[in-house]
Each structure stands twice: as C-alpha cells, then as structure tokens.
Amino acid sequence: MKKLKNSTVIFPNDPLIRSFINYSKIIGKTNTIIFTFYGINSRFIAKRGHNVAKTKRPL
C-alpha cells in the first residue's frame, strides 16, 4: 500500500493524468485510457493507475 501511495504522487503533477484518473473512477478502465494516451512506454504507469482507481473506489 505504501508503494501504491508513493506512485500516486506522480499523477497530481500532471493535471491531465489527474483528470484521467478521476474520470476512470467512474469507468474503471484507467489502464485503457492512459495506455492509449501515453503509449506502450508508460505501460507500468497505466497498470498503477488502474490500481489507484480500484483503491479510490471505496473512498
């Protein structure tokens, strides 16, 4: 959980990514959006984004 929280610090730096995560909370497919937007290089970021969306859902 600590690693996941540290990875979330990357997202607020970019308002675009932050809005994508907020948007993905409703859809639940962050990895699809970020993966399409940023490409294969940010594959691990897309995977992290999906986990973040999953953890933020209960909140």
Give how far Cα 11 sits from Cα of 25, 28, Å. Answer: 14, 16
CA atoms within 13 A on the CB side of 44: 3
Question: Which residue carries 């294969």 as its tokens?
Answer: 40
**Global pTM value:** 0.21
Contacts for 7-11: CB closer than 8 Å, 24+ residues apart: 7/48, 7/52, 8/52, 10/45, 10/48, 11/49, 11/52
pLDDT tens, per residue, the chain with 59 residues: 444 444 444 444 566 666 666 665 555 555 554 544 444 444 444 455 555 555 554 44
